[in-house]
Amino acid sequence: MASQTQQAIAAIVTVTGHSEGTLRLTTSQRTEVVNALFTNFENEEYSIKSAKATATDESVKKYISSQVSDVLKKQPIFNSGNAYAPNKSGTRNKEVKAMRMLLEKAHDMQDQEMIDTVQAELDSKLKSLNVKKVKQIVEADVPESLRRFL
């Protein structure tokens, strides 16, 4: 059985005929993609592990629609070959939150030395967080036969 992501990509490409560039689905296209994936779910070709998401047909379609949005946002095939980059890295990281508050305080005080120092630390922390995410994503996407090279 293909993964949810693979099935979503296949359904989107089938409905839109998309091959390159940036893609944004129309309402009718999104409905068609969700219905195709819902049919796969009914035929037990698309599995959802969450019992809450499978309680009703409406909850299944809502889950599928969210998953389609996620695929459209994160898959390079739908974004002109560009990799996904979160808008605000580190929003759940306490150190990053503290540094952002400190940076705001430095701007309020107009202390350029403090601004430069805090900004450098913040940039370094965000870079380290992004590097960790990329390593996890790459490893999961690499075929088993090639994982020895990681």
57 sits in which H/E element? helix 57-74
Residue-level pLDDT at 31: 94
What global pTM score does this model have?
0.57
Burial 50-68 (b: 16+ CB within 10 A, else e): eeebeeeeeebbebbbebb
Helix, strand, coil distribution of the chain in percent, nearest 5: 70, 0, 30
Tokens of 106: 């430095």
pLDDT tens-digit readout, 73-129 = 898 888 888 877 766 666 778 888 888 888 898 889 998 998 899 999 888 888 877
Residue 131's pLDDT band (boundaries 50, 70, 90)?
low
Handedness of CA 140, 143, 144, 146 (dihedral sign): negative
